[in-house]
Structure formats: structure tokens, C-alpha cells
Amino acid sequence: MFYCGMEQINSRYITYIKQPAAQENTTKLKLFYSNDWHGQTDNLGGVLSGSLYFDSATKGGNFDTLKLIAGDSWSGGNTKKNNLILNLMNYMGIDASTIGNHELDNGSKNLKNAIKNSKNTKFISSNLKTTQGHNIDGVANSIIKEENGNKYGIIGLSPLDLKTVVSIDKVSDVVVEDFEQTVKSAQNEIDKLKSQGVNKIIILSHIGKDLDEKLAGQLDGVDIIVGGHSHDKIEGVKESKNLVRSKSGEPVIILQAGQNAENYGILNAEFDVNGILKSVSNTIVETSKKKNSVIESIKDGEIGPSPKIGKIKEIDPMPENRRIAPCAWTAQIADSMKEALGTDIAVINSANVRKVPQTGKLTEADVEESTPMKNELIKTQMSEEQIVSAIKNASERTMSAVDGYPGLLQFSGIKYTIDSNGKLLSISFLDRDGKETIIDPNTPSKTKMYTIALDSFVANGKEYPEMVPKGQVEKFDYDKDITLINYIKNRQDKDNLVIKDDGRLRIVQTSEPRRQSSNTRNI
């Protein structure tokens, strides 16, 4: 009979899943886990410190230890930086990582080249295949990790929406199975591991929390799911929340530690002789958000010192959910795009920006980390009607979605206000002299045209179909990091930067009930 009881030990809580039996042989595991670092090196110093402390605290203990990451450790196409992070994973002794979407930002060929020399960290995914139906070189369906004579089976899962969140030209040679087939592949792998005498099964999943919960209920034999992709910070252990039941009724614990290396997790688990969870305790540890001298030294050694471009005196931090709120740093990027391409307007999707720099010295590397995706910039013309339609659709979908997908559009040259349900209340055009021209949101002009700068991701129409260029386009072989670096270098106040919200995007609360949909997507 299963039950959840709470016992306080050293200010930590253990959830008893199965009533302890007298003199029963058990296996104890301490698991260090993380997910969705997104290449945020400023925060990785805290993860490294946590990993080293974990090593010290568990040395010589009467238990097994594992270190696992659920994908998206790096982000973007900077090969040197991605290799640096991979080397850090190996140094930390990460046992395994699944393949998230950002591991494929630079294509499968570059992924293969990166991981072929990985000494300690194994890469796994059972639902990611080449178009010929094979595993990517260097990527296994699963691995068996043996600790103190105890075998742990670790299975990988990649994001089902890979083709949506990565540029299609980068992943044209790979496919990810749909949910139904992913369940079958995972169960096949579980059964194979069981046939080899493995009865403690962990899934490294990059499919998002909602799908992890659904997955757990359709599998038989899984014990732990270390998740990612939806960027949830799952603290503690709660029945029916992250302590769920498998197809056969056995307990399954679901874990996730947020994003951007802001946290890591420690799970203490105890298994009975049949490999079924008896008790678990789960702790989320917040990392330092300050630059780490060790990490900075490693970066300088492996990538080279990054040139200084300015100094930040004051800056608004990244919003808690960057998709549903204005961001002053994002606005600066849009300004730089408009300046570089000489357009009336520039637009950027909120989710594109992955980091807001801290006060103090600002380097080229800081800018590159904030927008790492390496798209191409595009210059084209769009009608007033097309722009208003894009804002309306993106705002309504974003503000009604549980996770804020796909994210608000942020502009340079456009000022607009929406309510908390995403209804467009007002919009105006701002010319280069700051003159404001009001646009009627209900009857925008079909003939009034503006030149507009955007990137190839926004222009592909996957998330913002109204932003697909309808006329002639001019392409540029660089991205927003280049425009922002040059923009800041040319500012007279570059050594005394104050970057604050200027009200170009406003969100006002409405008394109307929130129109919430189940449209949840993850990047």
C-alpha cells in the first residue's frame, strides 16, 4: 500500500511513498540534476560550485551518485562557446544529457563533431533519428550506469516540437517521433533495460512538464523523470503534482530546475529490492547570478578575451517571463536593428533574448550571449494593416496561453498598448525624430507601407504567420548581436549606459476574465 507521510530531518522533508518494511534491503541514490542552461555562463559558476560541493559532500557515502542534465546546455551557433560548455560538463562529471532543441541550433553535423570527444558525458535520445531512421552518430537511445553494483538505466527524449523551435534548414536531416511513438520507443527501451537486469529507470526528457506527466502515466517501469524544455522550477515533492503514478500504479517523481543555470536540483531517493521508489526528498538550490572568476578565466583561455564595448550604469532586469512583458534590453536590440538597416521599424520576438547583462563592464560576449541564435536579418516592406494584424494575433495568443507562447512582439518605431487579455487598445508610429502618428487599430491602412527590419526566424511564419514578407526582401548575413555591438560602440554614453523601460510597449490590467487557453509551447 502506498502513502505519503512527511518526516522532518535536518530541516528537510522526506516523502515516504511506500511504508518502510523492517530489515528490507534498499538502494539509496543522490542525484544532482539540471536543465536548460542555454549557455548562460554568468550563472554556470554557481552550478560548478554546486557540483563540486556535491562531490565533496557525497564522497565515501553509503549511497550511489549520479549527475544528469535534461538538455539545452548550450544555445546558438558559437562553436567555441558550445565546446567550452561541453568541456565544463565533462569536468563536472555529468553522466548523461539528452538532446534538446538548442543542441541542434548549429545542425546535426556540428552536434556530432562536438560530442564525439566527450569523455565523461554521454548523449542520449530514443525518439530522435536521422531521416534514414538511424541514431545520430554519438547519440544512444539509453545507457546503463553502474554504481556500487547497482544498475541504473537512463533514457533520453528530445522535444516533439523540434521543427518549430529550430530553423528548419538546421534540422532538415533529422526527425522527432510524435508523442504516441515516443511513448512506444521509451517503453521499448525500458523493457530492453529490464531484460538486462536493470530495475531502476530514469528518463532524461526535454519535452516539457505537461507531457512528462502524461508520459509517466502511459509507461510501466519508469521511476524518475528529469525534465526540461518548459523551464519549470519544481520544488519539493507533492502528490499528484510531481509525484505521480505509472501505468501499473508505481510511483514516478518528476523533476525540473527552471532555466538559464539559475538553479540546480538534488534528489535523495531510496529504492526497494524490486527497484520501486520507497522515499524521496527534492531540493532546488539557487545559484549565484554574478560572474564567476573561474568561469571567466576559462572563457578567456578557450575563447579569448572579449573586447569591452561599454559600461552599464543602470539596467532593468529580465522579466520573470520574458514572453509576456516588455524588456528594455530587447528594445535596445530593436533600436540597433532599425539603425543598422536604415528602416522605419524593427521587430523582435520576446523569446529571442536569453539574457540581460548586469551592471558594470559590457563586452561583446555579453551581447552575444543575450541573443545567441544566429539568424539572418531581413529588410522588407510591410503594410500598416499587416503590422497591426501581427501585433493583434501575437498579443491575443500570448496573453491567453498558460506559458505565454509565442511571446509578444517588441518594436523600434512602433508604440502600442494592450490589455492583460492581449486586446490591442492603441498603436502609433514613431519616426526618427520622435514624432508620433496615431494608427487606428480597427481600420489600419492597407496601402500605407513601412520599411521594416526583422530576422529570419520571425519571417519564417512558424510563430508569427502575419510577419511573412509579402514583397521584395533584402538579406544580411549577420544577426542582432552585430547590430547591437556597433550601436553601443557608437553611443556617446557608452561608458555610462542607462537602459530602462521607455513605455513603448504597455500592458494594462482589465477587469474582464482572462481568456486562458491550453496552447502551451516551449523553447
- Model pLDDT for residues 462-494, shown as the tens digit of each residue: 899 999 999 999 999 999 999 999 999 999 999
Does the pLDDT value for residue 308 go beyond 60?
yes
Task: Give helix 79-92 / helix 41-58 axis angle, nearest 10°.
Answer: 10
Q: Among the CATH numbers 3.30.1330.10, 3.40.50.300, 3.60.21.10, 3.40.50.11540, which is that of 31-286? A: 3.60.21.10
391: pLDDT strictly greater than 90: yes
C-alpha cell at 435: 514624432
Residue 8: the pLDDT is: 31
Measured over the CA atoms of residue 81, residue 357, residue 434 and residue 392, the dihedral's sign is positive
Burial of 140 (0-12, 13-18, 19+ CB in 10 A): middle
C-alpha distances (whole Å) from 453 to each of 168, 341, 476 are 21, 7, 10
Q: What is each CA distance from 497 to 189, 334, 411, in whole angstroms?
A: 54, 16, 20
| Position 13 pLDDT exceeds 80 | no
What pLDDT score does 15 carry? 66
Give percent of the chain above pLDDT 90.
80
Window from 72-81, 203-212, 361-370, 468-477 with minimum mean pLDDT:
72-81
Q: Give the closest residue to 391 by CA, choosing from 335, 467, 451, 457.
A: 467
For position 79, what pLDDT does the model report? Answer: 87
Between 520 and 129, the higher pLDDT residue: 129
Q: What secondary structure, in 3-state letters, does 453-518 show? A: EEEHHHHCCCCCHHHCCCCCCEEECCCHHHHHHHHHHCCCCCCCEEECCCCCEEEECCCCCCCCEC
pLDDT at 361 over 70: yes
CA distances from 110 to 78, 80, 123, 136, 352 (A): 11, 11, 14, 11, 22
Q: What is the pLDDT of residue 52?
A: 95
Element (H, E) at 282: strand 277-286
**What are φ and ψ of residue 246, in 5° steps?**
-80, 180
- In this structure, is the dihedral angle defined by the CA atoms of residues 133, 136, 138 and 139, taken in order, positive or negative? negative
Q: Tell me the one-letter amino acid at 432.
A: R
Q: Give the tens place of pLDDT for each residue, 248-291.
A: 999 999 999 999 999 999 999 999 999 999 999 999 999 987 77
CA 223/CA 269 separation, integer angstroms = 10
Please write the tens of the pLDDT for every residue from 90-113: 999 999 999 999 999 989 999 999
pLDDT score of 300: 81
Please check the confidence at residue 523 and state whether its pLDDT lies above 50: no
pLDDT confidence tier of residue 14, bands split at 50, 70 and 90: low
Residue 518 clears pLDDT 60, i.e. is over it? no
Q: What is the mean pLDDT of residues 346-373?
A: 92
pLDDT value at residue 22: 53
Confidence of residue 21 (pLDDT cuts 50, 70, 90): low
Lowest mean pLDDT among 143-152, 231-240, 296-305, 387-396: 296-305
Confidence (pTM): 0.82
Q: Which CATH architecture has domain 306-508?
A: Alpha-Beta Complex (3.90)
What mean pLDDT value characterizes the chain? Answer: 91
Q: Of all residues in the chain, what percent carry a pLDDT higher than 70? A: 93
The whole-angstrom separation of Cα 213 and Cα 187 is 15
Tell how strand 449-455 and strand 345-349 pair up: parallel
Whose CA is closest to 109, among 158, 173, 38?
173
* 329 contacts 370 by C-beta, under 8 angstroms: yes
> What does the pLDDT read at residue 18?
61
Taken as a whole, the chain contains a residue count of: 523
Q: Is 65 helix (H, G, I), strand (E, B) or coil?
A: strand
Displacement of CA 390 from its chain's centroid (Å): 25
Angle formed at CA 314 by CA 366 and CA 419, multiple of 5 degrees: 95
- Looking at per-residue pLDDT, the higher value among 305 and 308 belongs to 308
Examine the pLDDT at 514 and tell me if it is beyond 80. Answer: no
Domain ranges of the chain: 31-286, 306-508
For the cut 70, the answer to whether the pLDDT of residue 185 exceeds it is yes
Cis peptide before 406 (omega within 30 of 0): yes
Three-state helix/strand/coil letters over 411-470 = EECEEEEEECCCCEEEEEEECCCCCEEEECCCCCCCCCEEEEEEEHHHHCCCCCHHHCCC
